Amino acid sequence: MLWPLAAAAAEVQATLDRTRVELGETVTLNLRSQGGGMVQTPDLSALSRDFAVLGSSSNTSISIINGQRSAQVTVGVALRPLHTGVLRVPPLSFAGGTTTPLQLQVDEPDPNAAASGRKDVFLEAVVDPAEGYVGQQRVYTLRLFFAADLTNGALEDPQLAGVDVRRLGNEINYQAERGGRRYNVIERRYALTPQREGRLEVPPVAFQGDMVSMADPNAFFGSGTPVSASSPRVVIDAKAVPAQASHTTWLPAHDLSLALDGGPSHGDLRVGQPLNLVMSVQATGLPYEALPALSLPTLDGATVYPDKPVNATHVDGQWLVGRRQQGFAIVPNRPGTLTIPETTLTWWNVVTDQPEVARIPAQTFTVLPAVGTAPHQAPAATQPSSVPEAAPAAAQTAASPTPWRLIALASVGLWLASMAAWWWQRRWRGVAASRPSPSAPPSSSKLRAAFLAAARGGDVAAQVSTLLNWARAERSTIQNLGELSQALASEHQRDAIAALQRKRYAGMEESGLGDRLASAFRDGFQWRQHGDAASDGSPLPPLYPFNLRR
C-alpha cells in the first residue's frame, strides 16, 4: 500500500505507546514519516521472533504553515509480545529511511490487576480438579472479561499434547464484578482428559480483538483500539493407575451403570423364537470411546445374533456422559433350560477413590418345544408278551396228545390270511393311483424348485418359509431353522442357514446370500444319519468375544 507525501525529504520516526506491558497485553508501534515521496507498507518480518503482528492502520495529515505545505503519515502496528523479558524492536526500513531500535519490558501478568479492576480486558482460567488420575476428566473453565464494547474478537481454544480436549456445551454470557468494576463475561467450558501420566501444563489461551469506548468521539466512525489478553498457565497432575485396579479395565468415572433389558412377556421361550435383549453401559465423566464394547458369551442351547451397536456421548452440565448400547437376538435351538450367565464390569469411582463393580445378575429361562411339536418322550419299555404259565408236564401231555397237528393248521391259516391282505392292498393302491386326490401335498421336487427360486430373490421371509416347507416334506418333525441346522450333516448347509439367521434377526448384510443358499441346497439336503453325534450347543462360534470382565 502506498501513501503520498510532499516533495520534501522524508523524516522517519518509530515510537511505542508504552515501554512496559504485561504478557498478554498489546502494544502499538507507531511509524511516522514526514516529507515528500511515496510511503510503502513496511516489512515487519523482523518482528516475528518476539512479537505477533495483529494488524495495522494508517493516518495521513496535511498542514500549511506560513504558506509551507507539509504532510505526515502515521502507520500504527498492533503487536502482542510472545514471551517475557526485555524485547527489542529492530530498525525498520520505512519511507526511504530507517527507524531507530526500541526496547520493551514485558512482565508476567499481575494476578491482582484483574481483581482490582485496573484492566479493560483480561482472561481467567481454572481447572477442576487440579489433581486426579490419568484418563479422568477435568473441567477447564475459561472466562473473558471486558469492560468496554468489542467490535470483533477471536478467542482461541486450549491446545495441549497428550490431553483430549472437548467443548462442553455453548458459551455462557453474564456480568460479574472485579475490584468494584462491572465486566461483561463470556465463559467457555472444556473437558480435559489426560492420556498420559505426569505433570501437564495448559499453555496460555490468547484473545485478540478491537475495543471501542463510546466516550471516544471517533467511536462513531468505527475506530477501534486493538486489544489482546492471555489466560494464566494451568497445571494438571495426572496420577498413574492405582495398583489395585491395574488388572482390570481402567474406567475412572463419577458414576457407571450396566443393564440388560428385555425378555419374554409370558415368562417362557420356545425353540426357534428369538429372545430380544438390549445391553447398555453408561458412564459419567467418560466418552463412549473409553467404554468397552458389549457382547454376550456363547450360550449352551442357543445362538446369539448381535444387532448394530448404538454409541453416543452427550454433555450433562460439566460432564461428558458416554453410552454404549448393543442389542442381541437369542434364538433357542432345543427345549430345556437356557441360562445367561452373570456379567460384571469393574470401574473406579473417582468420588470415593475406590473400585466398584457394576453387575447384571444371571438369568434363566425355560425353553418350550416349538409350536405344534409334541414334547419328546422316552420310548416305552417293551413289555413281554403275556403267556400262560407252564402247566405241569403230566397235565400238558394229557391235554395235547398231538401238538404238531395244531401247529401245522395254524401256520396254514396265517399264510392264507397274509395272501388275502396283500391282494386287497394292491388292489386299493391301484384304484387310488387312478384317481389322485386334488388336495395331495406338493412333491419334494416342487418344494425344492420353489426354494431355489426364492433363494435368488431378496425376500428373507420367503427364503425361510420355502426352505422349511421343503425340509418338512422330508422330515415332518422339523419346526424351525435351528432344528433343521442340527439335523444336517453338511457344514456348508449349516453355514448357509447361519447366514440366513443373521440377516433375519440381526439385519446384518450378507454378501451373496442368495447364491450361497442356492449352492448349498442345489443337490438336496444332506441329512445327519441316525446315531451321528450331534454338536454340543450352538453350531456357530460366537460372533464377538465376551470382553467384559467377569
Looking at the fold, whether 177 and 251 belong to one and the same domain comes out as: no
Q: Give residue 63's pLDDT.
A: 67
Q: Examine the fold and report which residue of 323, 353, 368 is the final residue of a domain before the chain moves on.
A: 368
User: What is the CATH number for 220?
Assistant: 2.60.40.740
Looking at the fold, whether 473 and 457 belong to one and the same domain comes out as: yes
Residue 201: inside a domain: yes
User: What is the CATH number for 81?
Assistant: 2.60.40
Residue 433: inside a domain: no
Terminal-residue alpha carbon distance, the chain: 72
Looking at the fold, whether 449 and 495 belong to one and the same domain comes out as: yes
Residue 46: inside a domain: yes
Looking at the fold, whether 67 and 177 belong to one and the same domain comes out as: no
Q: Give residue 399's pLDDT.
A: 39
Residue 533: inside a domain: no
Directed axis angle between helix 460-474 and helix 491-501, to 10°? 140
470: phi > 0 → left, psi -120 to 50 → alpha, else beta; which? alpha
Instruction: Using 70 as the pLDDT threshold, list the residues of the chain that sit under it.
Output: 1-10, 35-39, 63-69, 111-116, 213-223, 246, 265-267, 372-441, 530-550
Q: What is the chain's alpha carbon radius of gyration, rounded to the nearest angstrom?
A: 45
Q: Examine the fold and report which residue of 368, 384, 416 is the final residue of a domain before the chain moves on.
A: 368
The cell numbers describing 188, all together, are 467457555
Looking at the fold, whether 318 and 295 belong to one and the same domain comes out as: yes
Looking at the fold, whether 131 and 83 belong to one and the same domain comes out as: no
The cell numbers describing 414, all together, are 396265517
Residue 42: inside a domain: yes
Q: Examine the fold and report which residue of 107, 131, 154 is the final residue of a domain before the chain moves on.
A: 107
CA atoms within 13 A of residue 500's CA, in its CB half-sphere: 32
Residue 190: inside a domain: yes
How many domains, the chain? 4
Q: Which domain holds residue 503?
A: 444-478+490-521
Looking at the fold, whether 272 and 222 belong to one and the same domain comes out as: no
- CB neighbours (10 Å) of residue 189? 19
The cell numbers describing 433, all together, are 393311483
Q: What does each C-alpha distance from 433 to 289, 414, 427, 429 come to in angstroms?
A: 70, 29, 10, 6
| Residue at grid coordinates 434377526 | 505
Q: Give residue 395's pLDDT.
A: 35
DSSP state of 130: S
Residues contacting residue 525 through CB under 8 Å, at least 6 positions apart? 470, 471, 474, 488, 493
- 376-429 pLDDT, tens digit per residue, is 544 433 333 333 333 333 334 333 444 445 544 555 555 555 565 555 555 545
Looking at the fold, whether 227 and 277 belong to one and the same domain comes out as: no
How far does CA 109 lie from the centroid of its chain? 43
Q: Give residue 225's pLDDT.
A: 78
Looking at the fold, whether 358 and 256 belong to one and the same domain comes out as: yes
Residues contacting residue 112 through CB under 8 Å, at least 6 positions apart? none
Looking at the fold, whether 102 and 82 belong to one and the same domain comes out as: yes
Q: Give residue 326's pLDDT.
A: 95
Residue 432: inside a domain: no
DSSP state of 541: -
| This prediction's pTM | 0.60
Looking at the fold, whether 12 and 97 belong to one and the same domain comes out as: yes
Nearest to 468 by CA among 460, 274, 374, 329: 460
